[in-house]
Structure 1
Amino acid sequence: MRSSLKFTNKLTMISEMENDSKFQILEYNTLNGATDVETAFGLNVINESGIKLKQIRIILDDSAVKLEPGALSYMKGDIEIKSKIGGVVGLGKKLLVSKLTGETIFKSNYKGTGEIFLEPSFGHFALLELEDDEIIVDDGLFCACEEDVQVGAAMQKNISSTFLGNEGVCQTKIHGSGIVVIEIPVPENEIFKCTLIDDTLKVDGNFAILRTGNINFSVEKSTKSIMGSLTSGEGFVNVYRGTGEVWLIPTKSVYEDIKSKGLKVMSELSEERNTEV
């Protein structure tokens, strides 16, 4: 293995997974690069709030990975970049998948020995390893994967999930064997990874971001009759059936409320609830 880039104590590795290539999630401990008062104030808020800038590092050892276009920040070493179109038929399929899922058409292959760094982000990342598996994720979550992993589209299997599930006609299907990087809306420790064994999960809201391929998804009335759904105030629920895993992010709505209503409003709501109790 060739010499790797050296880091200062400003970076911490918070997660790592290794197969043919090694994937790491790096975290910047603090940001101190302000050269003006406005930026300094913003960085102070970020540092005091515990918000961390993160970056994906991929170490290739005569191996190959695929990246979402625009994800690359920089790389070092003997790495060759290729984009596979697959002829007229292949191009047509990629155009259709791109139109249906919102994913970009071409995902470049990076092959060789060296290091790849993706664009840093204040978001959150998760590393997964597939072993001849399939997962279906929300559009826009895919970042990178090993060469033997395929990224395509999963068509919704029924009318209810297509028009009532807020997931669109297609979602992103990732299948094969290898490591996958996805960007997730909340920290991984706030994800409820619900395991189903020939069971049913009903979710009131659109906060399931991942499911394994053998889980069936549909949208159903929350009660047996339309009138019951209307009077209960619940309406329709997203339903997951089968054996596998579903990732839920229930804390997402809290962050959305804080962002849209502000901390003052959230504090007032909390006080009202405490008073009622």
Structure 2
Amino acid sequence: MFEVRNFFDNDDIMTLDQKGPFMVLEYERDLSVMPGNAMQAYYSAKMDIRKRQLACDLSKANVTIQAGAMQWMVGNVNATTGIKGVGDLFGKAVRGKASGESAIKPEYTGDGLLILEPTYKHLILLNTADWGNSIVLDDGLFLACDSKLKHKAVMRSNLSSAIAGGEGLFNLSLNGSGIVCIESYCPAEELIEIVLENDVVKIDGNYAVAWSKSLEFTVERSGKSLLGSAASGEGLVNVYRGTGKVLMMPVGKEPPVNMTVSL
């Protein structure tokens, strides 16, 4: 039996969201300030730049997290590789290499408490049920998910996506029913949700955060011809076609300085 004090009941820590086994916490004030970083902390507070952490209650579900994301755990918590044999290891290694994610994502089981490393990024909880039980994430956004979800590398619809689009050929998809936590450079309040019904959206750049696996994802010229693309000044765009949803940022994902936090 354990008791955690001055954490969930700390008046400087607010619960932003809670779904399934996950709870998103935000530090309303940063009291861990030294003279060398006092000015940065002051202006960060003025701009609502705050530390956030993900808490995982394993009594509600086993969770899988990004490698190296764990900060501390208490109670009956067991860490495993989540590998179920040589074939599974090979598949995960190939998928990790293809999607740019870590090949081995540790799985935590038990009924204790798991806390992940703090970050200045925005932690957003998504329910795969809202995405037809199959969601595709942009590279590097995955932080944690319910271990019931199946991981798969999905390939772009055409090879030109990798060559001309400036991004990888594969993305990580999560399939099944459960909750996913992603790290976003934009808060949930600013993310734009586009719902398509046998239609198409074209995005100039990698602004998309997540999209339904049911959508066909390609990279195409912005115009019908090379001359038209040149005239528009856009060139190549990411195209999502079919029936499903796209979640996108209003600004690019250039990471601010010092996005991770060491306590």
Secondary structure of the 1:120 match is coil
Alignment correspondent of 2:90:
92
Alignment correspondent of 1:272:
none
Alignment correspondent of 1:8:
10
Q: How does 1:36-185 map to 2 (within 5 A)?
A: 37-61=35-59, 63-131=61-129, 133-185=133-185
Aligned residues: 253
TM superposition shift of 1:94: 1.6
User: Match of 1:143, as an amino acid?
Assistant: L
TM superposition shift of 1:105: 1.4
- How many angstroms apart in 2 are the aligned matches of 1:129 and 1:99? 26
Q: TM-score scaled to structure 2, two decimals?
A: 0.89
User: Match of 2:88, as an amino acid?
Assistant: G
Question: 4+ runs of 1 displaced by more than 6 Å?
Answer: none
- How many angstroms apart in 2 are the aligned matches of 1:133 and 1:39? 44
- How many angstroms apart in 2 are the aligned matches of 1:165 and 1:67? 28
CA gap 1:216/1:80 in 2 versus in 1, 3 angstroms: same
> Does the Cα contact within 8 Å between 2:159 and 2:169 map onto a contact in 1?
no
In the TM superposition, what whole-angstrom CA distance separates every residue of 1:129-180 from its partner, at most 9, and x where no partner exists?
1236111111111111112112231111212322222331111111111111
TM superposition shift of 1:251: 2.5
In the TM superposition, what whole-angstrom CA distance separates every residue of 1:200-220 from its partner, at most 9, and x where no partner exists?
111122211211100111122
Q: How does 1:195-214 map to 2 (within 5 A)?
A: 195-214=195-214
Alignment correspondent of 2:29:
30
> Does the Cα contact within 8 Å between 2:93 and 2:104 map onto a contact in 1?
no
- Higher percent of residues as strand: 1
User: Match of 1:106, as an amino acid?
Assistant: I
Any stretches of 5+ residues in structure 1 without a counterpart?
Answer: 260-277
TM superposition shift of 1:62: 6.0
- How many angstroms apart in 1 are the aligned matches of 2:68 and 2:99? 17
Any stretches of 5+ residues in structure 2 without a counterpart?
Answer: 258-263
Does residue 208 of structure 2 align to residue 227 of structure 1? no
Alignment correspondent of 2:261:
none
User: Match of 1:207, as an amino acid?
Assistant: Y
Decide which structure has the larger Cα Rg and report it: 1
- How many angstroms apart in 2 are the aligned matches of 1:48 and 1:63? 37
User: Match of 2:185, as an amino acid?
Assistant: P
Alignment correspondent of 1:252:
252
- Measured on the aligned residues, the alpha-carbon RMSD in Å equals 2.1
TM superposition shift of 1:2: 6.7
Identity level (%)? 34
- How many angstroms apart in 1 are the aligned matches of 2:201 and 2:61? 39
